[in-house]
């Protein structure tokens, strides 16, 4: 947090966290940067071009060990700022002392720079910067001259023949003199064994390429988007920096004017404000086997958690709320034809028939008992009214075949009667038991059926109220009960139909009541999404939820 001595908060004051951005204070403009804590390990930072016109205090609150503070600053001056030469002092020079300067030194390229340790905050000393060729010619008082061995009349001695290559091309590097053994007269290089190795000079480090490297723009990471949804802004820190003595320093921005400055702000959009939410898991498949359907609840939800119209969300991104589900082949399903239209008896009790077959998949052929013992009935009673009887066993005419094709049955009435004058009485069957009773049923076969439509029983309805659907599997089978494509498509039974279209009757919960008289205010403020208000104003919140579901259902 940043605050002035007068107590005025500039950034993150009064225990409130500000968004990254630009804030005015202390006579300058501060750029506040807070990288994403998940995607970046960089810390928070303040940056200002300055100058400041009052004392500002920086506060830090932390729950984990203090990670420390790194800070850099620029001291105003009339001269050009150049990097220090502290790390490359000559042997014998005092660490914190000042180097002597000739009176004729040109001060245009000289400035004062104070180095601060980023961990301890202690000053490392104040010193002037010396440009190439300005090393002092005098020897410091505290340097002890090296003891020279007595000169001997030798034919060979050590000679400096050059220097090593500079370690850097700019920004102050280092190099060392190179000594070879040579003939004193001809100066011809010879093997080092001709010279006394103990008298070989020790190479001393020398500074080289002291001119600064070109300045460059140091581009920081983008801040978090100012908005969690919709169009927002994000910022990044741009600093003009220069490399010197293996250190990167922040310098005045005019030194980077030869380069195009990168943008510090940009638009961003994490997502659109309203989003699709999947409120429920997929339901179970509508059929136990074969191909059915399953559903789930998908709503468009605003930032406040309210369910809004689907048009407020991107329809191209809407998740599916219904899909097909394949429960595998129905290897144990009974397939049935429709009941025959005609009763087996023209009068009295008769039967209507249908075909029943246990269907397996097309790969294997399971026995009939694979469908279980609950085989659907192939006959159902029918009655076309009472019949007149006659004496003895009376057999009526055979009814039409129960099927128009394939195997069927025929029925006829067989009764015990006694004739009277002009009439006859129907007797109990035992009265004719001594007589051979004619058969009352026989099989019949008119012609091959070819292919017919078979179907399973209807599945359970997908909803108990407000309109659901149920499905069944329909297959075209030939006379030998194998799959066929010869059925008339116009006669194909329906595979899906609506069911339970009646309105849902809400259950009345005696414990769901409003505990306060002003629950209408809770509803108007859209606070029913919170558990406390949903319980305290249960009745009002429930009515609103029901109205919303009815509205969405009609849509």
Q: What would the pLDDT profile of 272-317 be if each residue is shown by its tens digit?
A: 678 889 999 999 988 877 788 999 999 998 877 788 888 878 888 8
State yes or no: pLDDT of 184 exceeds 60: yes
Q: What is the CATH number of domain 274-327?
A: 2.20.100
Full-prediction pTM beyond 0.75? no
What is the mean pLDDT of the segment spanning 513-530?
87
Class of 214-270 per CATH? mainly beta
CA distances (Å), origin 246, targets 64, 77, 163, 193: 32, 24, 21, 38
What's the pLDDT tens digit per position in 340-365? 888 887 556 788 999 888 775 433 34
What's the pLDDT tens digit per position in 141-168? 444 444 444 444 478 899 999 999 998 8
What is the mean pLDDT of the segment spanning 84-106?
37
Tally DSSP H helices, then E strands, for the chain: 3, 35
Q: Is the model more confident about 60 or about 423?
A: 60
Bridge-based pairing of strands 112-116 and 28-33 is unpaired
503, 466 in Cβ contact below 8 A?
Answer: yes
Q: What is the rounded average pLDDT for all residues in the chain?
A: 77
Question: Cα separation of 146 and 149, whole Å?
Answer: 10
CA distances (Å), origin 375, targets 269, 356, 463: 63, 8, 28
DSSP summary character for residue 489 = G
State yes or no: pLDDT of 58 exceeds 70: yes
Q: Return the top range by mean pLDDT from 174-183, 388-397, 407-416, 443-452.
A: 174-183
What is the model's pLDDT at position 376? 86
What is the model's pLDDT at position 283? 92
Per-residue pLDDT band for 40 (boundaries 50, 70, 90) equals low
What is the model's pLDDT at position 508? 66
What is the mean pLDDT of the segment spanning 336-340?
88
Question: Cα separation of 351 and 380, whole Å?
Answer: 5
State yes or no: pLDDT of 537 exceeds 70: yes
What is the model's pLDDT at position 387? 55
Per-residue pLDDT band for 520 (boundaries 50, 70, 90) equals confident
What is the model's pLDDT at position 429? 82
Q: Poorest-confidence range of 57-66, 172-181, 544-553?
A: 544-553
CA distances (Å), origin 102, targets 90, 106, 127: 17, 9, 15
Q: Is the model more confident about 373 or about 265?
A: 265
Question: Cα separation of 438 and 413, whole Å?
Answer: 10
State yes or no: pLDDT of 86 exceeds 80: no
CA distances (Å), origin 142, targets 92, 181, 241: 7, 32, 37
Per-residue pLDDT band for 478 (boundaries 50, 70, 90) equals confident
28, 50 in Cβ contact below 8 A?
Answer: yes
For residue 90, give the nearest of 199, 174, 179, 166 by alpha carbon: 174
Question: Cα separation of 300 and 138, whole Å?
Answer: 83
Per-residue pLDDT band for 98 (boundaries 50, 70, 90) equals very low
Q: Poorest-confidence range of 96-100, 233-237, 425-429, 438-442?
A: 96-100
What is the model's pLDDT at position 442? 92
Q: Poorest-confidence range of 194-198, 228-232, 499-503?
A: 228-232
Q: Poorest-confidence range of 80-89, 229-238, 275-284, 476-485?
A: 80-89
As given in the structure block, the two tokens for residue 153 are: 């009349």
Cross-strand pairs, 475 = 454
What is the mean pLDDT of the segment spanning 455-461?
88
Per-residue pLDDT band for 484 (boundaries 50, 70, 90) equals confident
What is the model's pLDDT at position 287? 81
What is the model's pLDDT at position 278? 92
Own/partner contacts of 56-60, CB < 8 Å, gap of 24 or more, are 56/2, 56/3, 56/4, 56/5, 56/10, 56/25, 56/26, 57/2, 57/3, 57/4, 57/5, 58/1, 58/2, 59/1, 59/2, 59/3, 60/1
3-state secondary structure of 230: coil
Question: Cα separation of 400 and 380, whole Å?
Answer: 16
* 359-368 core/surface letters (b: 16 or more CB in 10 A; e: else): bbeeeeeeee
* 390-408 core/surface letters (b: 16 or more CB in 10 A; e: else): beebbebebbbbbbeebeb
What is the mean pLDDT of the segment spanning 476-504?
87
């Amino acid at each position: 947090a940043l605050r002035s001595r007068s107590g005025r908060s500039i950034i993150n004051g009064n225990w409130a966290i500000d968004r990254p951005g630009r804030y005015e204070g202390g006579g300058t403009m501060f750029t506040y940067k807070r990288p994403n804590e998940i995607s970046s390990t960089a810390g928070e930072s303040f940056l200002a071009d300055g100058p400041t016109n009052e004392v500002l205090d920086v506060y830090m609150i932390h729950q984990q060990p203090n990670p420390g503070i790194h800070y850099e600053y620029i001291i105003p001056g009339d001269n050009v700022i150049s990097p220090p030469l502290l790390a490359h002092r000559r042997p014998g020079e005092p660490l914190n002392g000042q180097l002597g300067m000739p009176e004729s030194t040109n001060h245009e390229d000289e400035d004062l720079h104070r180095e601060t340790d980023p961990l301890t905050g202690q000053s490392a000393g104040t010193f002037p910067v010396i440009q190439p060729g300005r090393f002092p010619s005098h020897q410091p008082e505290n340097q002890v001259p090296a003891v020279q061995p007595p000169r001997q009349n030798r034919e060979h001695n050590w000679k400096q023949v050059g220097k090593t290559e500079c370690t850097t091309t700019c920004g102050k590097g280092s190099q060392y003199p190179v000594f070879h053994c040579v003939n004193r007269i001809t100066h011809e290089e010879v093997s080092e064994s001709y010279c006394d190795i103990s008298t070989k000079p020790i190479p001393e480090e020398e500074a080289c390429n002291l001119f600064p490297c070109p300045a460059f723009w140091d581009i920081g990471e983008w801040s978090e988007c100012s908005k969690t949804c919709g169009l927002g802004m994000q910022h990044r820190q741009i600093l003009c920096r220069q490399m010197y003595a293996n250190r990167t320093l922040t310098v005045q921005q005019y030194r980077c004017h030869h380069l195009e400055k990168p943008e510090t702000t940009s638009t961003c959009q994490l997502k659109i404000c309203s989003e699709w939410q999947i409120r429920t898991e997929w339901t179970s498949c509508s059929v136990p086997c074969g191909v059915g359907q399953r559903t789930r609840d998908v709503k468009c939800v605003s930032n406040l958690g309210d369910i809004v119209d689907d048009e407020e969300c991107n329809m191209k991104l809407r998740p599916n709320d219904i899909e097909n589900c394949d429960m595998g082949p129905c290897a144990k399903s009974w397939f049935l034809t429709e009941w025959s239209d005609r009763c087996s008896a023209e009068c009295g009790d008769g039967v209507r028939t249908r075909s029943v077959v246990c269907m397996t998949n097309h790969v294997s052929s399971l026995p009939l008992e694979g469908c279980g013992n609950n085989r659907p009935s192939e006959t159902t009673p029918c009655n076309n009214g009472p019949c007149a009887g006659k004496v003895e066993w009376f057999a009526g005419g055979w009814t039409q075949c129960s099927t128009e094709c394939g195997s069927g049955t025929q029925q006829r009435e067989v009764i015990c009667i006694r004739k009277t004058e002009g009439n006859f009485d129907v007797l109990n069957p035992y009265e004719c038991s001594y007589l051979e009773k004619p058969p009352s049923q026989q099989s019949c076969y008119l012609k091959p059926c070819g292919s017919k439509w078979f179907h399973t029983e209807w599945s359970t309805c997908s909803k108990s109220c407000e309109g659901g659907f149920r499905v069944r599997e329909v297959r075209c089978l030939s006379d030998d009960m194998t799959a066929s494509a010869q059925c008339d498509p116009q006669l194909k039974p329906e595979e899906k139909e609506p069911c339970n279209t009646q309105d849902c009757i809400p259950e009345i919960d005696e414990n769901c009541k409003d505990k306060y008289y002003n629950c209408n205010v809770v509803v108007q403020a859209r606070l029913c999404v919170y558990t406390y208000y949903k319980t305290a104003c249960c009745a009002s919140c429930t009515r609103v939820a029901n109205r919303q579901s009815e509205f969405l259902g009609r849509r």
